Amino acid sequence: MIQPEASKRFWNRAARENAAWHIATGYTTESAEFFASGAREVDTFLSFAGLKLRGDERLLEIGSGVGRMTRRLAELAGSVVATDVSDEMLSRARTNLADLPNVSYVEVSGEGDLPVPDASVDAVFSYITMQHVPTAQAQERYFAEALRVLAPGGWALIQFRRGGVVPRMLDWVGHVWHLLRGRRTLSRAWRGARVAENTLRRHPSGDVTVDILPLGRRHIWVLARRSGGGALVR
Ligand SMILES: C[S@@+](CC[C@H](N)C(=O)[O-])C[C@H]1O[C@@H](n2cnc3c(N)ncnc32)[C@H](O)[C@@H]1O
C-alpha cells in the first residue's frame, strides 16, 4: 500500500531542494529560459494534438509544478486552475506567476480527485505528471475526474507512460540516469505506476471520445473530447 502522503513529502522536498531541477532536465533555476521551455512545449503538444486555445477557455492543469507551462497556458486561455500535490510547488508558482491574475491554485490529495465542480472547465492539460502518480488507480481516477469536470465541447489532453517491455526498460534507464545525478528516482513518488491503455479507452458516457496518441517511445498523450457546446474544437 502506498501512502498518499509520500508523494506530498517527496515533491515538497524536491521543491525546497531545487524545484527546477526536479521538474525539467537541464534546468537548475526558474529562469526565463526555463519558462520559455514550458511555452515551447505547450505550443508543440497542443499542435501535435491538433488543438487550439481561443483565449476565453477555463483550463485546469494537473501537476502544474512551479508554473513552467502554466505561464503559457494562462497566456493562451481565459483562466487557469493550477493544481498540484505539492503546496510548496504551488507556492513557488504563485510567486513566479504573480503578474498573471487569471491563474488560481489548488492543492490536491494526489489520489486523483480534482476538487472542482462538474462541467466547470473547458480544457484539462497535464504533462510529465501522471508518470509520477504512484498507483494506476489514482491515474485512472485523474482521468475520470478530468472527464467529470469537462464542460460540453471541452477536451482533456493528458500524458501517460506508454505500456510494453521496451518503454519499461527505457524508463528504468532513465531512473538510473537520474539517480546517478542525485534525484531520488527509486522512490515510488518518482517512478509512479503505469495504467493500461485499454482502461483509458473506456469512458463513462457516450458523449466522450478518447484517442490515444503515441509520442516517442515512452509516452502516450490521451485526448478526450466531450461533444456539444460548440467550443474548442480542432
Ligand atoms: C516533473 S514535474 C512537472 C511540472 C509541470 N507539468 C511542468 O512540466 O513544468 C511533476 C509535477 O507533478 C506533481 N505531482 C507529483 N505527483 C502528483 C500527484 N499524485 N498528483 C498531482 N501532482 C503530482 C509534482 O509535485 C510536480 O510539480
CA 9 to chain centre: 19
Query: What confidence score (pLDDT) does residue 225 get?
Result: 96
Cα separation values, 40 from 37, 70, 138, Å: 5, 12, 29
Q: Is the CB of 38 under 6 A from ligand 1?
A: yes
Q: What is the pLDDT of residue 147?
A: 96
Indicate which residue's Cα is closest to atom 26 of ligand 1: 65
- Tell which residue, 106, 178, 93, 99, has the closest CA to residue 145: 106
DSSP 8-state secondary structure symbol assigned to residue 162: P
Q: What pTM does this model have?
A: 0.96
What pLDDT, on the 0 to 100 scale, is given for residue 229?
79
Q: What angle in degrees, to the nearest 10, is found between the helix axes of 87-96 and 4-23? A: 40
Cβ-based neighbours of 95, under 8 Å, separated by 6 or more: none
Verify whether ligand 1 is closer than 6 Å to residue 149 (CB atom): no
Tell me the CATH number of domain 4-226, given options 3.90.700.10, 3.40.1180.10, 3.30.1060.10, 3.40.50.150: 3.40.50.150
Cell of 162: 506508454
Which atom of ligand 1 sits closest to the CA of residue 127? 6
Q: How far apart are CA 216 and CA 197, in angstroms?
A: 16
Which of 66, 72, 67, 64 is CA-nearest to residue 44?
Answer: 72
* C-alpha atoms less than 13 angstroms from C-alpha of 108 in its C-beta half-sphere: 24
Rounded CA separation 23/49 (Å)? 23
Q: What is the mean pLDDT of each run of 10 residues along the chain (234 residues)?
A: 80 97 95 98 98 98 98 98 98 98 98 97 98 96 97 98 92 93 92 91 83 94 90 44
Query: How many angstroms does the Cα of residue 63 sit away from the middle of ligand 1?
Result: 4
pLDDT of residue 162: 94
**Which grid cell sits at 69?**
507551462
The full set of domain ranges for the chain reads: 4-226
- The pLDDT tens digits for 151-167 are 999 999 999 999 889 99
